[in-house]
A = this chain, B = another copy of it.
Amino acid sequence: MSGQLSVIGLGPGDLAAMTAEAGSALKTAHAIYGYAGYLDRLAPQSGQRRFASGNGEEEARAAAALAHAAAGADVALVSGGDPGVFAMAAAVCEQIDTGPEAWRALKVTIVPGVTAMLAVAARVGAPLGHDFCAVSLSDNLKPWSVVERRLDAAAAAGFVLALYNPISRARPWQLGVAVERLRRHLPETTPVVFGRAIGRPDERVIVTTLQAADPAAADMATLIIVGCAQTRLVTRADQAPLVYTPRSFAPVSG
Protein backbone atom coordinates (compact mmCIF):
# COMPACT_ATOMS: atom_id res chain seq x y z
CA MET A 1 0.00 0.00 0.00
CA SER A 2 1.43 3.37 -0.92
CA GLY A 3 0.60 6.43 1.10
CA GLN A 4 0.10 10.00 0.07
CA LEU A 5 0.30 13.46 1.56
CA SER A 6 -2.13 16.32 0.94
CA VAL A 7 -1.05 19.77 2.08
CA ILE A 8 -4.32 21.62 2.48
CA GLY A 9 -5.17 25.30 2.69
CA LEU A 10 -8.04 25.99 5.09
CA GLY A 11 -8.48 29.60 4.01
CA PRO A 12 -8.60 32.60 6.33
CA GLY A 13 -10.57 31.10 9.21
CA ASP A 14 -14.25 30.72 8.47
CA LEU A 15 -14.57 27.26 6.89
CA ALA A 16 -17.06 28.73 4.38
CA ALA A 17 -13.96 30.25 2.80
CA MET A 18 -12.42 26.80 2.28
CA THR A 19 -12.66 25.19 -1.18
CA ALA A 20 -14.69 22.05 -1.91
CA GLU A 21 -11.47 20.33 -2.95
CA ALA A 22 -9.92 21.02 0.46
CA GLY A 23 -13.03 19.67 2.19
CA SER A 24 -12.86 16.40 0.20
CA ALA A 25 -9.17 15.90 0.92
CA LEU A 26 -9.82 16.36 4.64
CA LYS A 27 -12.63 13.78 4.62
CA THR A 28 -10.62 10.95 3.07
CA ALA A 29 -7.50 11.38 5.22
CA HIS A 30 -6.58 8.75 7.84
CA ALA A 31 -4.59 11.27 9.82
CA ILE A 32 -4.43 15.06 10.04
CA TYR A 33 -1.35 17.00 11.10
CA GLY A 34 -1.36 20.69 11.86
CA TYR A 35 -0.91 23.59 14.21
CA ALA A 36 -3.29 23.02 17.13
CA GLY A 37 -5.20 26.24 16.41
CA TYR A 38 -6.04 25.06 12.88
CA LEU A 39 -7.03 21.53 13.93
CA ASP A 40 -9.46 23.03 16.44
CA ARG A 41 -11.45 24.53 13.56
CA LEU A 42 -12.20 21.12 12.05
CA ALA A 43 -15.07 18.90 13.17
CA PRO A 44 -13.73 15.60 14.56
CA GLN A 45 -14.29 12.59 12.31
CA SER A 46 -14.38 8.99 13.51
CA GLY A 47 -11.41 6.84 12.53
CA GLN A 48 -9.28 9.88 11.81
CA ARG A 49 -6.25 10.53 14.02
CA ARG A 50 -5.03 14.03 14.78
CA PHE A 51 -1.51 15.20 15.48
CA ALA A 52 -1.39 18.75 16.80
CA SER A 53 1.82 20.72 17.08
CA GLY A 54 2.84 24.18 18.19
CA ASN A 55 3.76 27.28 16.26
CA GLY A 56 7.37 27.23 15.12
CA GLU A 57 7.47 23.44 14.78
CA GLU A 58 7.00 23.48 11.00
CA GLU A 59 10.01 21.31 10.15
CA ALA A 60 9.19 18.57 12.63
CA ARG A 61 5.51 18.64 11.64
CA ALA A 62 6.32 18.32 7.92
CA ALA A 63 8.77 15.46 8.59
CA ALA A 64 6.28 13.60 10.80
CA ALA A 65 3.52 13.90 8.18
CA LEU A 66 5.87 12.69 5.42
CA ALA A 67 7.06 9.73 7.53
CA HIS A 68 3.46 8.77 8.30
CA ALA A 69 2.50 8.94 4.61
CA ALA A 70 5.61 6.93 3.65
CA ALA A 71 4.36 4.22 6.02
CA GLY A 72 1.30 3.85 3.80
CA ALA A 73 -1.32 6.23 5.18
CA ASP A 74 -3.41 8.89 3.47
CA VAL A 75 -2.19 11.91 5.43
CA ALA A 76 -3.44 15.51 5.45
CA LEU A 77 -1.32 18.39 6.65
CA VAL A 78 -3.33 21.58 7.16
CA SER A 79 -2.28 25.21 6.81
CA GLY A 80 -4.19 28.39 7.47
CA GLY A 81 -4.80 30.43 4.33
CA ASP A 82 -2.91 29.01 1.35
CA PRO A 83 -0.22 26.40 2.06
CA GLY A 84 2.08 27.98 -0.54
CA VAL A 85 2.22 31.46 1.02
CA PHE A 86 4.46 31.61 4.11
CA ALA A 87 3.03 28.27 5.20
CA MET A 88 3.54 24.50 5.15
CA ALA A 89 4.08 23.68 1.44
CA ALA A 90 7.64 25.08 1.41
CA ALA A 91 8.45 23.26 4.67
CA VAL A 92 7.27 19.98 3.08
CA CYS A 93 9.33 20.58 -0.07
CA GLU A 94 12.41 21.32 2.06
CA GLN A 95 11.97 18.03 3.91
CA ILE A 96 11.54 16.09 0.66
CA ASP A 97 14.64 17.83 -0.75
CA THR A 98 16.85 16.87 2.19
CA GLY A 99 15.10 13.81 3.65
CA PRO A 100 15.05 10.05 2.92
CA GLU A 101 14.94 9.00 -0.76
CA ALA A 102 11.56 7.28 -0.19
CA TRP A 103 9.90 10.65 0.38
CA ARG A 104 10.59 11.61 -3.26
CA ALA A 105 8.44 8.69 -4.38
CA LEU A 106 5.40 9.82 -2.36
CA LYS A 107 2.41 11.31 -4.06
CA VAL A 108 2.16 14.86 -2.69
CA THR A 109 -0.81 17.08 -3.50
CA ILE A 110 -0.98 20.75 -2.57
CA VAL A 111 -4.56 22.02 -2.24
CA PRO A 112 -4.59 25.82 -2.54
CA GLY A 113 -6.68 28.13 -0.40
CA VAL A 114 -7.57 31.78 0.08
CA THR A 115 -4.49 33.40 1.61
CA ALA A 116 -4.87 36.14 4.23
CA MET A 117 -4.06 39.09 1.95
CA LEU A 118 -6.93 38.13 -0.40
CA ALA A 119 -9.38 37.80 2.50
CA VAL A 120 -8.38 41.13 4.06
CA ALA A 121 -8.41 42.87 0.67
CA ALA A 122 -11.91 41.55 -0.05
CA ARG A 123 -13.22 42.97 3.22
CA VAL A 124 -12.28 46.54 2.30
CA GLY A 125 -12.58 46.68 -1.51
CA ALA A 126 -9.65 46.06 -3.84
CA PRO A 127 -6.41 47.41 -2.37
CA LEU A 128 -4.45 44.74 -4.31
CA GLY A 129 -6.14 45.86 -7.52
CA HIS A 130 -2.81 46.51 -9.18
CA ASP A 131 0.79 45.19 -8.91
CA PHE A 132 1.63 44.09 -5.36
CA CYS A 133 4.20 42.26 -3.23
CA ALA A 134 3.86 39.89 -0.31
CA VAL A 135 6.66 40.21 2.26
CA SER A 136 7.14 38.35 5.53
CA LEU A 137 8.45 40.67 8.24
CA SER A 138 9.86 37.70 10.15
CA ASP A 139 13.63 37.79 10.48
CA ASN A 140 13.75 34.32 12.01
CA LEU A 141 14.86 32.78 8.71
CA LYS A 142 16.30 35.76 6.82
CA PRO A 143 18.43 38.74 7.86
CA TRP A 144 16.49 41.91 8.70
CA SER A 145 18.62 43.78 6.13
CA VAL A 146 16.99 41.67 3.40
CA VAL A 147 13.52 42.62 4.67
CA GLU A 148 14.47 46.31 4.58
CA ARG A 149 15.94 46.08 1.10
CA ARG A 150 12.76 44.45 -0.19
CA LEU A 151 10.46 46.98 1.49
CA ASP A 152 12.49 49.82 -0.04
CA ALA A 153 12.52 48.26 -3.50
CA ALA A 154 8.80 47.44 -3.49
CA ALA A 155 7.61 50.80 -2.17
CA ALA A 156 9.92 52.80 -4.44
CA ALA A 157 8.70 50.90 -7.49
CA GLY A 158 5.04 51.56 -6.67
CA PHE A 159 3.95 48.10 -5.53
CA VAL A 160 1.19 47.76 -2.95
CA LEU A 161 2.56 45.72 -0.01
CA ALA A 162 0.99 42.86 1.91
CA LEU A 163 2.92 42.31 5.13
CA TYR A 164 2.76 38.81 6.64
CA ASN A 165 4.02 37.83 10.12
CA PRO A 166 4.19 41.48 11.20
CA ILE A 167 4.87 41.00 14.90
CA SER A 168 5.30 38.43 17.67
CA ARG A 169 6.58 38.32 21.23
CA ALA A 170 10.04 37.45 19.93
CA ARG A 171 9.88 40.12 17.17
CA PRO A 172 8.39 43.20 18.82
CA TRP A 173 10.18 46.08 16.98
CA GLN A 174 10.29 44.99 13.34
CA LEU A 175 6.86 46.30 12.31
CA GLY A 176 7.55 49.76 13.73
CA VAL A 177 10.84 49.97 11.85
CA ALA A 178 9.15 48.76 8.66
CA VAL A 179 6.41 51.39 8.92
CA GLU A 180 9.01 54.14 9.53
CA ARG A 181 10.88 52.97 6.48
CA LEU A 182 7.80 52.96 4.25
CA ARG A 183 7.02 56.54 5.36
CA ARG A 184 10.20 57.63 3.53
CA HIS A 185 8.78 56.40 0.24
CA LEU A 186 5.05 57.00 0.42
CA PRO A 187 2.65 59.90 1.09
CA GLU A 188 1.37 60.26 4.68
CA THR A 189 -2.16 59.73 3.42
CA THR A 190 -1.42 56.32 1.86
CA PRO A 191 -4.22 53.96 2.96
CA VAL A 192 -3.17 51.16 5.32
CA VAL A 193 -5.36 48.21 6.31
CA PHE A 194 -4.92 45.97 9.35
CA GLY A 195 -6.98 42.77 9.17
CA ARG A 196 -7.13 39.67 11.33
CA ALA A 197 -9.29 36.55 11.76
CA ILE A 198 -11.44 37.30 8.71
CA GLY A 199 -14.76 35.46 8.95
CA ARG A 200 -14.23 34.47 12.58
CA PRO A 201 -16.01 35.93 15.61
CA ASP A 202 -12.88 37.86 16.58
CA GLU A 203 -12.47 39.43 13.11
CA ARG A 204 -11.06 42.93 13.23
CA VAL A 205 -10.39 45.27 10.31
CA ILE A 206 -8.90 48.76 10.66
CA VAL A 207 -8.54 51.21 7.80
CA THR A 208 -6.04 53.97 8.55
CA THR A 209 -3.23 55.94 6.91
CA LEU A 210 0.51 55.43 6.81
CA GLN A 211 0.93 58.46 9.07
CA ALA A 212 -1.53 57.17 11.67
CA ALA A 213 -0.69 53.45 11.40
CA ASP A 214 0.04 52.10 14.88
CA PRO A 215 2.14 48.94 15.10
CA ALA A 216 0.48 48.17 18.44
CA ALA A 217 -2.76 47.50 16.53
CA ALA A 218 -1.22 44.34 15.05
CA ASP A 219 -0.80 40.91 16.58
CA MET A 220 0.63 37.64 15.25
CA ALA A 221 -2.51 36.88 13.26
CA THR A 222 -2.71 40.30 11.58
CA LEU A 223 -2.13 40.88 7.87
CA ILE A 224 -1.28 44.46 6.90
CA ILE A 225 -1.81 46.01 3.48
CA VAL A 226 0.06 49.22 2.70
CA GLY A 227 -1.21 50.97 -0.41
CA CYS A 228 0.82 52.77 -3.07
CA ALA A 229 0.56 56.41 -4.15
CA GLN A 230 -2.43 55.54 -6.38
CA THR A 231 -4.46 53.71 -3.71
CA ARG A 232 -7.73 55.51 -3.00
CA LEU A 233 -10.40 55.72 -0.32
CA VAL A 234 -14.09 55.97 -1.25
CA THR A 235 -16.11 57.33 1.65
CA ARG A 236 -19.68 56.05 2.02
CA ALA A 237 -22.46 57.42 4.21
CA ASP A 238 -23.51 54.46 6.36
CA GLN A 239 -20.76 52.01 5.53
CA ALA A 240 -17.02 51.64 6.02
CA PRO A 241 -14.98 53.30 3.27
CA LEU A 242 -13.82 51.28 0.27
CA VAL A 243 -10.07 51.05 -0.28
CA TYR A 244 -8.89 50.28 -3.79
CA THR A 245 -5.95 50.58 -6.14
CA PRO A 246 -7.08 51.58 -9.64
CA ARG A 247 -6.28 49.30 -12.53
CA SER A 248 -4.69 52.14 -14.46
CA PHE A 249 -1.45 53.75 -13.42
CA ALA A 250 -2.50 57.40 -13.63
CA PRO A 251 -4.24 58.58 -10.46
CA VAL A 252 -8.01 58.69 -10.78
CA SER A 253 -9.20 62.31 -10.57
CA GLY A 254 -11.46 63.38 -7.77
Residues of A at the B interface (CB closer than 8 Å) are: 9, 11-12, 14-21, 23-24, 58, 82-86, 89-94, 96-98, 104-105, 107-108, 110-115, 118-119, 121-123, 125-136, 141-143, 146, 149-150, 152-154, 156-159, 232, 234-239, 242, 244-249, 252, 254
Residues of chain B within 8 A (CB-CB) of A143 are: 249
Q: Are B146 and A136 in contact (CB under 8 A)?
A: no
Smallest Cβ distance from A242 to chain B, in angstroms? 5
A84-B126, A126-B93, A232-B97 are contacts. A134–B136 as well, Cβ < 8 Å?
A: no
Q: Are B121 and A118 in contact (CB under 8 A)?
A: no
Q: Are B131 and A135 in contact (CB under 8 A)?
A: yes
Smallest Cβ distance from A165 to chain B, in angstroms? 11
Q: Are A105 and B236 in contact (CB under 8 A)?
A: yes
Q: Are B21 and A17 in contact (CB under 8 A)?
A: yes
Smallest Cβ distance from A89 to chain B, in angstroms? 4
Number of copies: 2
Residues of chain B within 8 A (CB-CB) of A141 are: 247-249
Q: Are B85 and A118 in contact (CB under 8 A)?
A: yes
Smallest Cβ distance from A59 to chain B, in angstroms? 9
Residues of chain B within 8 A (CB-CB) of A108 are: 242
Q: Are B153 and A249 in contact (CB under 8 A)?
A: no
Smallest Cβ distance from A146 to chain B, in angstroms? 6
Once bound together, how far apart are the Cα atoms of A236 and B239, in whole Å?
Answer: 53
Residues of chain B within 8 A (CB-CB) of A97 are: 232, 234, 242, 244, 252, 254
- Which residue in B21, B91, B153 is a CB contact (below 8 Å) of A156? B153
Q: Are A245 and B90 in contact (CB under 8 A)?
A: yes
Q: Are A122 and B83 in contact (CB under 8 A)?
A: yes
Smallest Cβ distance from A173 to chain B, in angstroms? 19
What are 28 A-B pairs with beta-carbon distances under 8 A?
A14-B21, A16-B21, A19-B114, A20-B23, A82-B114, A83-B126, A84-B121, A84-B122, A84-B129, A85-B118, A89-B125, A90-B247, A93-B126, A93-B232, A93-B234, A97-B242, A104-B235, A110-B121, A110-B125, A110-B126, A111-B122, A131-B135, A132-B134, A133-B133, A141-B248, A152-B157, A153-B153, A154-B159
